[in-house]
Amino acid sequence: MTPCILKESSRGYDRVEIEDALFMDRRIFLTKAVDASSMECLIKELLYLNNSDPKERITLYINSPGGEVNSGLAAYDLMNLIEAPITTVCIGEAASMAAILFLAGEERIIFPGSRIMIHDPSPGGGSLQGMKPDEIQEQLEDLKRCRDRLCSIIAEKTNKTMDEIRTKTRKDSYFTAEEAISFHLATKIAERI
Residue 68 to residue 98: CA distance in whole angstroms = 10
Q: Write down the catalytic residue from 52, 96, 122, 173.
A: 96
Angle at 102 between CA 97 and CA 106, to 5 degrees: 145
Q: Is 184 a catalytic residue?
A: no
Q: Convert 44-67 into a string of H (helix), E (strand) and C (coil).
A: HHHHHHHHHCCCCCEEEEEEECCE
Q: Is 119 a catalytic residue?
A: yes
Which residues on adjacent β-strands are paired with residue 107?
87
Q: Write down the catalytic residue from 52, 119, 127, 182.
A: 119
Query: What H or E segment, with its residue span, contains residue 14?
Result: strand 12-17
> Would you name the residues annotated as active-site residues?
96, 119
